[in-house]
Chains A and B, each alone.
Chain A
Amino acid sequence: NAGVTQTPKFRVLKTGQSMTLLCAQDMNHEYMYWYRQDPGMGLRLIHYSVGEGTTAKGEVPDGYNVSRLKKQNFLLGLESAAPSQTSVYFCATSPPMAGREYEQYFGPGTRLTVT
């Protein structure tokens, strides 16, 4: 099993460009999450999904959109990239076991630089 994979691993964008980050999981988990990690800031939740076809905003959703058309995939879109979106992006999944839905499994991350 591949677990949680993220595509691409690295990307450089110019200000104003758009891109989509793909998260894929083969663990049949219901919940999926997108975080960003910045130095000294820890991890901040961007958007999350509790099942196919549903999404919700997290702590820092502005400038991002997401879609969960298939259970195994969670896409994060940047419509018009800004330098403030330079970060490392992590996808995570968790199983819907009562009380343990917070037990998250992380992908390897995507390092995005916006110039």
Chain B
Amino acid sequence: GEDVEQSLFLSVREGDSSVINCTYTDSSSTYLYWYKQEPGAGLQLLTYIFSNMDMKQDQRLTVLLNKKDKHLSLRIADTQTGDSAIYFCAEGSGYALNFGKGTSLLVTP
């Protein structure tokens, strides 16, 4: 997804908050998504946000959307070692999702 950009790596200490950022280009996207991929596994839908919302909170996850700047972020509170994974931002585009290249999150004890 060259139209969806994410930083490639993020390292945080256990218990801290993680913030993963994403920028996208398709302003017509109805929904924006965050997926999680653990090693050797497929992608798992983590959360999504409707494009007319600014924020969505789901337990430890907070999604912020700045539609004007086409910027999406995922905040994970109290990050645990089990949160270590690759996180993909995605936007709806036609019939399919347009994915970023993924951000590898490493949580250290």
Give me the interface of A with B, judged by CB distance under 8 Å.
4, 31, 33, 40-43, 45, 48, 50, 56, 58, 90, 92, 99-109
Q: Is the CB of A99 within 8 A of B31?
A: yes
Query: In the complex, A105→B33 CA distance in Å?
Result: 12
| Chain A, residue nearest B102 (CB) | A42
Give me the interface of B with A, judged by CB distance under 8 Å.
1, 30-31, 33, 35, 40-45, 48, 88, 90, 92, 95-97, 99-102
A48-B95, A102-B92, A104-B97 known; A42-B1 Cβ under 8 A: yes
Cβ–Cβ < 8 Å partners of B30 in chain A: 99, 102
Closest A-B pairs by Cβ, 6 of them: A106-B42, A102-B92, A42-B101, A106-B43, A43-B99, A99-B30
Query: In the complex, A41→B96 CA distance in Å?
Result: 17
Main SS of chain B's interface residues? strand
* CB contact between B41 and one of A31, A33, A100, A109 (< 8 Å): that residue: A109
Query: In the complex, A42→B35 CA distance in Å?
Result: 12
Q: Is the CB of B41 within 8 A of A108?
A: yes
Cβ–Cβ < 8 Å partners of B1 in chain A: 42-43
Q: Is the CB of B33 within 8 A of A102?
A: yes
Q: Is the CB of B41 within 8 A of A103?
A: no
Cβ–Cβ < 8 Å partners of B101 in chain A: 40-42
Q: Is the CB of B102 within 8 A of A56?
A: no
Q: A43-B88, A99-B31 are in contact. List 4 more A-B contacts (CB 8 A).
A: A33-B96, A43-B43, A43-B99, A101-B95
